Amino acid sequence: MDNLRRFVLIISLISFVLLCVGGFYIADVYDPKSIQKEVTEPTPLVPNGNKYDPDNYTKQDYYKGNTLFVLTPKEGEAATGFVLAGYNEGTADLNFIVIPHDLKVTDAALNNSVMTLGAYFFEHNAKDTTAYLSALLSVDIDNYITLSYDSLTSLIEKTGKIKAVLPMDIKFIKTSTEDVNYGDKVNFSKGEKELSGSDIVNILKFATDEGAYISPELSKYYEDAGVRQIHSKLATDIIAISVNGLAKNYLINPENQDKFKNAFAGLKDSFDTNCDEEKVTEMFRNISNAEDEEIGMFIIAGDLQVGKKVYVAFDGTANELDTSSSLSVTNIIANRFTYIR
């Protein structure tokens, strides 16, 4: 028993020594701060892949300003379209986010009244609406430009028709609204089209006319959604389709850039904007290197709520125009529209 007891004591002593040595070694190499740092320190932003060097950049090299375009029938009326445009020189990306005019917002200045974004613009102005969207989307928006239907029509007439693809038939049947002047001008079958400024405006008038009837073909395209929901979706879709065609036909087409730039400059006095001629010139100069495959076109998404008004309840996502993929707006903003900090 003495030998057995002695053997157990020796083994216990050896085990204790080994544990002590191992513990000191682990304590020496273990740094809890390094583990915490690895978990909490964010990964540097990499816009669109691997073109961004976090150790060699300046804000002005990679970011050229985001601009909000607002479309309204005429001065003093509610807006029917909003498009956020941004160009990133570091990645040669030209990007657009189309924001529904019936996006559901609250107005703090009117006791947090619920209204559409188009109505918010009517109650305030382009500057305040730009600030509101900047806060809502967590993005810096430096510039705003408001175009009336007449300004848009003149702009496209001076530059030429827009080549676009309509994925749906758009045909006027009748309307319960009085004094309508667009009806016989809205009859488009799906497919490749060349749209004039008047064509786009007339489709928008149809899409925002709550008294207009919806054809069976258009209803089928929108999966038999309610009439008011179809009007809402069509208004947003036609703006996205038109902007996409405009970007490809003129903004990134070297042969047509000067034509569009000159037409834009000639109409600048009809725009409500904080951009002077120098800013507009810089915009066109900055986007001259954008390529077709680098255009990003997104449409803000959300649940359609129908009551006295139709509202798009923003759910934090946007749909890509070409693929209909649902993407996080936070990621789109971070990678395509945000200052590289």
Summarised one tens digit per residue, pLDDT across range 16-49 is 444 444 444 434 433 433 333 333 332 222 333 3
Gap between the Cα atoms of 231 and 83, Å rounded: 18
As for how many domains the chain has, the answer is 2
- Predicted confidence at residue 286, as pLDDT, reads 65
Domain that holds residue 184: 59-337
H helices within the chain, ranges in order? 2-29, 32-40, 59-62, 117-123, 126-137, 149-159, 197-207, 216-221, 227-246, 254-266, 277-286, 329-332
Section 221-241 average pLDDT: 90
In this structure, the strands spanning 104-107 and 113-116 are antiparallel
Tell me the DSSP string of 118-143. HHHHHHS-HHHHHHHHHHHHT----E
Same domain, 22 and 108: no
CB count in 10 Å sphere of residue 76: 8
Q: What are the pLDDT digits (tens) for 193-212?
A: 999 999 999 999 999 998 99
Same domain? For 112 and 28 the reply is no
- Is 167 strand, coil or helix? coil
Q: Looking at the structure, do residues 249 and 214 belong to the same domain, yes or no? A: yes
Q: Measure CA of the first residue to CA of the last residue in the chain; give whole Å.
A: 74
Do 66 and 36 fall into the same domain? no
50 located within any domain = no
315's CB contacts (< 8 A; 6+ apart) are: 301, 302, 303
Question: 296-325 pLDDT, tens per residue?
Answer: 899 999 988 887 788 999 999 999 988 889
In a shared domain, residues 161 and 15: no
In a domain, 51, yes or no: no
* CATH code for the domain in which residue 83 is found: 3.40.630.190
Residues 275-303: tens digit of each pLDDT: 877 777 777 666 666 665 668 899 999 98
Q: Does any domain span residue 266?
A: yes
184 and 333, same domain (yes or no): yes
- Does residue 222 sit in the same domain as residue 264? yes
Q: Rounded to two decimals, what is the model's pTM?
A: 0.77
